[in-house]
């Protein structure tokens, strides 16, 4: 942990969210990328050490949810921040449009199946929150369910879904899977620049699909859906963090700091061996030492 103040990014439990109040280009005490690299390296190393203890202790799991508009930097964030973690102790799941099998089940089913086991860090690249974001913006994705027709009951429907998500996360926390959630907050202008890059640079063409540009027309609807979802599902135990994302290097630093802080708060300890196990170790040592 490098001591960066991260409280300003938290969405307080039952707090209101107006994304216009959250700058997308904030970089705190850092002026440019070069200033941030040593601190990022420190956090990455620390995260590796803590994950090792998480794994050895085998009591807790950490679920890191990453949500954002297209081109906000989810993939590269994951690549940079998780580099210090043993690949055996970390699993990344990317949630795309649901398969037919997934659509045949309730909307949390596929996320439940992808949860990290004890000792593991799980990263959700998109997540169950798509169910109150893209699905809210495009209700035709509501498989097999029909939205109530009047605006009030429609709002109730989404509120109820958020409550279900909140309850699910509460259940996870109570059972040792701790959840933290990041919204990478990129500006509409910066997204346009990144899309143009993806079109102009042949090696980035694969990252762009024509649908991405069309989806920008729904920007305000997405922002409204994000704000409401975060208001209803940020809790003391499983908070949302709104992370400025116009400067990718700052996003990485802030997220790494918050993950390290979260792991430290779990008070992780290597397991202590009991008397019997200690006697077994002494016995094994004798055998090894008596070898010719």
Contacting residues toward ligand ATP, per CB under 6 A: 70-71, 74-75, 95-98, 126, 130-131, 134-135, 141, 207
- Kindly state the smallest distance separating residue 135's Cβ from ligand ATP, in Å: 5
Strands (E), 121-218: 121-125, 177-185
CB contact at 8 A, 124 and 95: yes
CA angle, 93 then 97 then 99, to 5°: 90
**What DSSP designation does 87 have?**
G
Interaction mask 231-270, Mg ion, x per CB under 5 A: ----------------------------------------
Other C-beta atoms closer than 10 Å to the C-beta of 201 total 11
Taking the least distance from each CB to ligand ATP, the nearer of 77 and 180 is 77
Q: Of ligand ATP, Mg ion, none, which one does residue 246 interact with (CB within 5 to 8 Å by kind)? A: none
CB contact at 8 A, 89 and 48: no
The piece of 67-75, 120-128, 214-222, 271-279 that touches Mg ion (CB under 5 A) is 67-75
Tokens representing 99 are 């398969």
- The 3-state DSSP class for residue 106 equals coil
Q: Of ligand ATP, Mg ion, none, which one does residue 126 interact with (CB within 5 to 8 Å by kind)? A: ligand ATP
Distance (Å, rounded) from C-alpha 109 to C-alpha 202? 38
Tokens representing 141 are 């994705």
- Kindly state the smallest distance separating residue 71's Cβ from ligand ATP, in Å: 6
190 part of the interface to Mg ion, by CB under 5 A: no
State the number of binding residues for Mg ion (CB under 5 A). 1
Taking the least distance from each CB to Mg ion, the nearer of 74 and 181 is 74
Taking the least distance from each CB to Mg ion, the nearer of 70 and 231 is 70
**In the range 68-107, which residues lie near Mg ion by CB under 5 A?**
70
CA angle, 220 then 252 then 36, to 5°: 125
- Kindly state the smallest distance separating residue 192's Cβ from ligand ATP, in Å: 15
Q: Of Mg ion, ligand ATP, none, which one does residue 136 interact with (CB within 5 to 8 Å by kind)? A: none
- Kindly state the smallest distance separating residue 21's Cβ from ligand ATP, in Å: 25
Question: To 10 degrees, the CA torsion angle through 139, 101, 121, 163?
Answer: 40
- Kindly state the smallest distance separating residue 70's Cβ from Mg ion, in Å: 4
Concatenating the DSSP letter of every residue in 131-147 gives GGTHHHHSGGGSTT---
Taking the least distance from each CB to ligand ATP, the nearer of 78 and 260 is 78
- Kindly state the smallest distance separating residue 185's Cβ from ligand ATP, in Å: 15
CA gyration radius, the chain:
21
Other C-beta atoms closer than 10 Å to the C-beta of 41 total 14
Distance (Å, rounded) from C-alpha 10 to C-alpha 39? 21
| Residue whose beta carbon is closest to ligand ATP | 130
- Kindly state the smallest distance separating residue 259's Cβ from ligand ATP, in Å: 20
CB contact at 8 A, 91 and 122: yes
Question: Rule CB under 5 A: which residues touch Mg ion?
Answer: 70
């Amino acid at each position: 942990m490098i001591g960066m103040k991260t409280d300003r990014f938290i969405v307080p439990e039952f707090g209101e969210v107006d994304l216009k109040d959250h700058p997308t280009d904030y970089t705190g005490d850092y002026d440019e990328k070069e200033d941030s690299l040593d601190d990022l390296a420190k956090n990455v190393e620390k995260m590796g050490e803590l994950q090792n203890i998480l794994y050895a202790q085998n009591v807790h799991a950490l679920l890191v949810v990453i949500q954002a508009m297209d081109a906000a930097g989810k993939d590269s964030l994951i690549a940079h921040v998780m580099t210090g973690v043993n690949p055996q102790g970390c699993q990344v799941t990317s949630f795309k449009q649901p398969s037919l099998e997934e659509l045949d089940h309730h909307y949390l089913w596929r996320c439940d199946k992808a949860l990290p086991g004890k000792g593991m860090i799980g990263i959700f690249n998109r997540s169950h929150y798509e169910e109150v974001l893209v699905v809210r913006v495009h209700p035709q994705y509501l498989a097999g369910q029909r939205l109530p027709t009047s605006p009030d009951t429609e709002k109730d429907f989404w509120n109820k879904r958020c409550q279900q998500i909140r309850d699910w996360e509460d259940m996870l926390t109570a059972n040792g899977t701790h959840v933290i959630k990041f919204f990478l907050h990129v500006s509409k202008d910066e997204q346009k620049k990144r899309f143009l890059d993806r079109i102009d640079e042949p090696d980035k063409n694969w990252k762009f699909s024509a649908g991405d540009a069309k989806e920008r027309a729904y920007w305000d609807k997405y922002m409204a859906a994000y704000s409401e979802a975060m208001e209803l599902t940020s809790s003391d135990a499983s908070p949302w963090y709104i992370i400025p994302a116009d400067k990718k290097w700052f996003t990485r630093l802030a997220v790494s700091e918050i993950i390290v802080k979260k792991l430290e708060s779990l008070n992780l300890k290597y397991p202590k061996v009991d008397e019997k196990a200690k006697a077994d170790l002494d016995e094994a040592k004798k055998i090894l030492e008596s070898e010719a």
